[in-house]
Structure 1
């Protein structure tokens, strides 16, 4: 049995949107999006355990990355400040559990992506990035940056196989730009992952065809998710004084606008190419962030805001509400990864098996609803 989603929000005209069959003024739409973001964040906060972390019962481990995603979502919406404080303190006491292999008995490993994400969360939660628990995360991030050669400016894993990518590069740039300044070479390396069309590749070593720039790679795959976070990292660098970063951010946002699907959604690349709320949340957040700057003309800014609103409305139709939740009513506020997940939850509820996907989809999807850039969360 398929359950019809009764509450639908779609663009009607430039001056109105439709919510559950009723037309509302366009200016009311942002408030609806923010309300949905708050409800999603409230649900996400309940996925934290008594210590303030997300625990994965299947593997019997703390999911540190998802815990940080949850903290970002809570800070973006202003939800549960006491929970944020408790969770942040617990994370600060377990830095090496996330950015190293110390817990597994392998000393000397440092992971660039997790280090950058920890640094960013320290800034977003208004913690001291130079003394986060026992660690100077800013110094650790800079210590993982390549100082010379073709990878100059790249944040790379140390002591293990390097799996650094554009997400990790972006989090390091975000964290450094917002905690005292980011080296020009780090921004330059991130810009080199942008192809002429405007999109960013996920990894400099994508599919075993390393190349110094995106345009020189063999058939590079441009990734909307990587582009969404790279645009916001470059905006942070631009706000910190790096003017070329602003040009790259604008170019990335215009590429996202061009590839947006007619229903307002985005897909990722490879196995996530179909429309999903994770990709749509991050891309829409980037569109709105650039629209709020002077990097584009007023006309283009308006078009980017409309595109961001369309992305937000699409995400909102994937949120569990009292009208569409069915057996998933206890989880009202959560955001489904895609339409199939929404239907299944209404029919069967969110089960222990399916809950992990919901916990991963919701914090990133709600970013487009919260209407605040990664460059500004926590300011």
Structure 2
């Protein structure tokens, strides 16, 4: 497949533990690290879901990537089953707006990361992934895997678009592996390609080529000065643990190495940053990394990450001017301080919607390979207890006016530039938080009305770069 040893070769060289042990890591029941804080965060996010069953972007239109992030958060915490079910039913009829270009361009085109993310959403929701609305999402993903004729790309989940370009990345590959593992068997080449994105230090690069390039460079060590991305590593580690549970050789060893790398870069206060423009500590990166640390058995480090995230959660007692939005989680220190002083700025509400579902993952500490399998709320509570941070939050839909937000440059992880995907995303409306998987279909009508066909074509070009979030 490439100059790098395959997953099986790595296994032969010796894993620290057996695949059976890896399965125990992934599938053993995992208690919530902080059930009250995690459910309060998810309950706040649930109230941002519209009556139509989606989370709006900063423009007020459906953001399908963020909607799936919300579904994952709800399934990880058990915070609101009714809203989770509503999202699932909406996705069954409208997810094609996210993973295809059927309403915009030649039918049959597919965006790899979005397709993989919808498969994963179908799995965690408990729906049949092979009959998710009108689509067999498992087959849709399998159809996007590169074959043996693609050389070092074998096993890569690839965009299928008439332009011939491909912006799929490690986030997309991780989601594909997770979805395929949990809907049946995962083809070993898909796992091998994911392992190829890991450098010898243990971290994973975001793209299978250097920034600004397009041709796959083989394994990570073959690339000059690869940028190792904590967000991508958190995703890849969890996908590989799921593959290890499925019996794929070499996956556990790579996952363990990735978890160890995350511990080596964790900041003294427990936080993580992304890479590139998002390198500063933020709750999105800390949420994903902390979830991966818990999944790989690094409990002390995972708990430290969770404590840092909790310190950025709005509570009734300490939320100041933002206490009515108790439960939500700020992206960083600056945004938290501003909210406590002035309340949540309606123009920045989109920022909080994007930070909260990913940040709470380190509070729930249920691996991505386990969400939807383990009951996160054995007591059956659909909402936070009266004493929890989110118990007084209002409204069942977004009350805020949509703010300006570059949703055409979206990301699955909350990271940007060299650290996000599948496009080259930019920051959110306040320039501080990148966006997560926004759909462009809603923007199309606005664009047509305002600027005409030329802008529509531009949006179509950008749509294919849209992210899948993590």
Instruction: Using structure 2 for the length normalisation, give the TM-score.
Output: 0.70
- 1:250-329 matches, within 5 Å, as 250-291=256-297, 304-329=298-323
Counterpart-to-counterpart distance in 2, 1:258 and 1:32: 22
Q: RMSD over aligned Cα, in angstroms?
A: 1.2
Partner of 2:51: 50
Counterpart-to-counterpart distance in 2, 1:191 and 1:331: 41
Residue 226 of structure 1, aligned match among 232, 249, 252: 232
Would you identify which runs of 4 or more consecutive aligned residues in structure 1 move more than 6 Å?
none
SS of equivalent residue, structure 2 residue 130? coil
Structure 1 range deviating more: 229-238 or 341-350: 341-350
Partner of 2:134: 134
Unpaired stretches in structure 2, ≥5 consecutive residues: 1-30, 374-470
- 1:83-122 matches, within 5 Å, as 83-122=83-122
Residue 157 of structure 1, aligned match among 156, 159, 164: 159
Counterpart-to-counterpart distance in 2, 1:218 and 1:324: 47
Counterpart-to-counterpart distance in 1, 2:209 and 2:167: 9
Partner of 2:355: 361
Residue 177 (1) aligns with residue 181 (2): yes
User: Are the counterparts in 2 of residues 33 and 313 from structure 1 also a CA contact under 8 Å?
Assistant: no
SS of equivalent residue, structure 1 residue 178? helix
Partner of 1:341: 335
SS of equivalent residue, structure 1 residue 130? helix
Partner of 2:205: 201
Counterpart-to-counterpart distance in 2, 1:372 and 1:44: 18
SS of equivalent residue, structure 1 residue 150? helix
Residue 168 (1) aligns with residue 172 (2): yes
1:102 positional shift: 1.7
Q: 1:127 to 1:31 in 2, by over 3 A?
A: closer
Highest relative contact order (Cα 8 Å, sep 6+), 1 or 2?
Answer: 2
Structure 1 range deviating more: 106-115 or 194-203: 106-115
Instruction: Using structure 1 for the length normalisation, give the TM-score.
Output: 0.87
1:316 positional shift: 0.3
User: Are the counterparts in 2 of residues 232 and 286 from structure 1 also a CA contact under 8 Å?
Assistant: yes
User: Are the counterparts in 2 of residues 34 and 371 from structure 1 also a CA contact under 8 Å?
Assistant: no
1:230 positional shift: 0.2
1:57 positional shift: 4.9
User: Are the counterparts in 1 of residues 316 and 324 from structure 2 also a CA contact under 8 Å?
Assistant: no
User: Are the counterparts in 2 of residues 267 and 275 from structure 1 also a CA contact under 8 Å?
Assistant: yes
